[in-house]
Chain A
Amino acid sequence: MLNELKELWRFRGLLWQLVRRDLKVRYKNSRLGFLWSIAPPLMQVACITFAFRYATDFAAKFNNYSAFVLVAMIPWTYFQTAILDSSQSILLMYGVIKKVYLPREIIPLSNAISNFIHFLLSWLVFFVFLWGYLRAPILPTVIWFPYLVLVQFMLVTGLSLLVSALNVFYEDVKYIVSILLGLFLFLLPIMYIVEQVIYTSNLGRWAGGWGAYIYMLNPLTALINGFRKALLEPPHPDVIKGGEYLPLDPNSLLLSGVLSFCILVFGYWYFNKRKWQFVERP
């Protein structure tokens, strides 16, 4: 694996060029450019806020429900677009890898990195909204922010490597992935908060309280929960019945960091195992 990493380092110039290409090409022929990255999550948040504010009284219990959803929607959008893009990434470069030698992992990596840059820019927009427009206080827990961003990058990159390699051999993977991603919008604490699952639901009580642990084991759940708690103040206590709003939990974040790192290593290992078979797929 060390040799593979050395080879990757030798080709870092190409990695950078491919990231630049992705960033340039994505919105090259559109007038609004980067706005197309931030527009879909904003529109989704607006619709979710509409539904929960006017169809239920749920949203009214938050100081600003839109901010609560948006802080989760940004990591979710990054996760979703990066994984979906990666599923097609190798096949889009198939003509090149059949004709030129290059470390194949550069392709999903450049994809993950260019999406990561969009992710960072989206946070910038969010911070302007949160601290500039809403005038929310900057919490001390914000020091967790760089850690959370890094862990999510590891998670997304690991899964990108896995999905991109699998999709070369089984093109069903991209369909499976897009269906799963559609479902996770509801399974992850995006429109609601984790305390509602832990205290209010049967899932939280299931198996003597282990249901809640299992729910929190998903690194992305822990990350979204972490982003929310690092950046936003607690909501009105009425939101949670039968429990309290939990503070940011370092243990859960460290666990998701370890899990994400394991996923990255596994994804890289699997990719390297299969990468020479890409050009020979029957």
Chain B
Amino acid sequence: MAVRRASLIGNDRNAGDLFMTAPPDAPPGGWAIEIEELRKTFVLQHRQAGTLKRAVLNYFRRYPRETREVLRGVTLRIPHGETIALIGRNGSGKSTLLSLIARVYKPTSGRVVVNGSVAPLLELGAGFHPDLTGIENIELYGAILGLTRKTLQERFDSIVSFAFDRPDLLEKIDTPLRNYSEGMKMRLGFSVAIHTDPEILIVDEVLAVGDEAFQHKCYRKIEEFQREGRTIVFVSHDMHVVRQVATRVVWLHNGSIRMDGSVEEVVNAYVNAADSEAEEQQRA
């Protein structure tokens, strides 16, 4: 795939303009995810969380609200069947971009169009309740991820056997989740999420969980997803994993795309930049 230089260093704010002038034609299957001129700004409050007192004082004093632009005009089009890795240093906006695709945030401006069902694996087991049993938590987490009761019942056995493939794990299925180890909770969360049968998988650092054996299983499942033509967008700092799994890499820097292209090219550029940055810091 050709390298698409989406932004010029030092000219980040106009990054999207390069695309706007020549929007690429849609692939035969259509875009899985279309992101156009996406901006996201958060309000910063340094001193304390929102209280009525502060709100009243701020109203009268008219403090200027400090904001931080986390995404500064990101334009990205992802066709069905691609596996995109988002890389970049901490605070570059990767997770915010994922959250916007998962509809957790609303864009400040620009737009995100997602064509297909989404499974957000931003945090495995978000919504698990420690007092409920494994079975009850499968039902709850399945519903949170948008599974209907009927579909959940159909896939229930498959979810359980995927997560708990050993008899010693399986016997805990009807005990409260607080008796589970962290690894077992992750297995359960991953298994439910993967069984929502999504067309688009959004993953934040949790591509593979659990012990060695289960991680292998996770990667096999990811490969199966890729073969079936599903779209995966994931964030990772592990360049080994990125090289192994991704078909295209997007490098985010300070809220805009610095580079977008083939795996080797972008990863190498990123690693070189990180190395030289580390060297500079060492010298200073």
Contact = CB atoms under 8 A, between A and B. Distances in A.
Interface of A: 11, 13-14, 16-18, 21, 24-25, 28-29, 93, 95-102, 169-173, 276, 279-282
A169 B50 contact: yes
Contacts of B53: 172
Contacts of B52: 170, 172-173
Interface of B: 42-45, 49-53, 55, 99, 102-106, 118, 120, 122-123, 126-127, 129, 131-132, 136, 139-140, 143-149
Given A25-B132, A170-B52, A171-B49, A13 B127 contact: no
A28 B52 CA distance: 35
B127 to A, nearest CB: 4
B147 A101 contact: no
Contacts of B99: 98-99
B129 A21 contact: yes
Contacts, number: 90
Nearest to B123: A99
A16 B148 CA distance: 11
A32 B238 CA distance: 51
A24 B144 contact: no
A17 B102 contact: no
Contacts of A102: 144, 146
A24 B102 contact: no
B122 to A, nearest CB: 4
A14 B145 CA distance: 9
Contact of A29 (B44, B51, B131, B148): B131
B44 A279 contact: no
Contacts of A25: 129, 131-132
A29 B103 CA distance: 36
29 contacts: A11-B146, A13-B148, A14-B146, A18-B143, A21-B136, A24-B132, A24-B136, A93-B127, A95-B123, A99-B126, A100-B102, A100-B120, A100-B144, A101-B118, A102-B144, A169-B50, A170-B50, A170-B51, A171-B49, A171-B50, A171-B51, A276-B105, A276-B106, A280-B43, A280-B105, A282-B43, A282-B45, A282-B49, A282-B50
Nearest to A15: B143
Given A98-B104, A100-B104, 9 more contacts: A14-B146, A17-B144, A18-B143, A25-B132, A169-B50, A172-B52, A276-B106, A282-B42, A282-B43
Contacts of A29: 131
A16 to B, nearest CB: 8
A14 B143 contact: yes
A100 B129 contact: no
Interface of A is mostly: helix
A95 B169 CA distance: 27
B274 to A, nearest CB: 28
B231 to A, nearest CB: 17
Contact of A14 (B122, B123, B129, B144): B144
Contacts of A97: 104
A100 to B, nearest CB: 6
Contact of B127 (A11, A16, A100, A276): A100
Contacts of B136: 21, 24
A238 to B, nearest CB: 47
B127 A96 contact: yes
A125 B72 CA distance: 60
Chain A to chain B: the 3 pairs with minimum beta-carbon distance, closest first = A282-B45, A17-B143, A101-B103
A6 to B, nearest CB: 15
Contacts of A28: 131-132
A100 B140 CA distance: 13
B103 to A, nearest CB: 4
Contacts of B132: 21, 24-25, 28
A48 to B, nearest CB: 33
A245 to B, nearest CB: 43
Q: Which of A16, A101, A169 has the most CB atoms of chain B within a 10 A radius of its CB?
A: A101
A105 B51 CA distance: 22
Contact of B126 (A21, A96, A173): A96
B140 A21 contact: yes
B110 to A, nearest CB: 15
Contact of B139 (A17, A96, A98, A100): A17
Select the residue from B103, B104, B118 with max chain A CB neighbours within 10 A: B104
Given A96-B126, A170-B50, A170-B55, A17 B140 contact: yes
Contacts of B45: 282
A19 to B, nearest CB: 11
B153 to A, nearest CB: 11
B123 A13 contact: no
A279 B123 CA distance: 15
Contacts of A99: 99, 102, 104, 120, 122-123, 126
A168 to B, nearest CB: 8
B104 A279 contact: yes
B49 A13 contact: no
A13 B143 CA distance: 6
B58 to A, nearest CB: 10
Contacts of A16: 143, 149
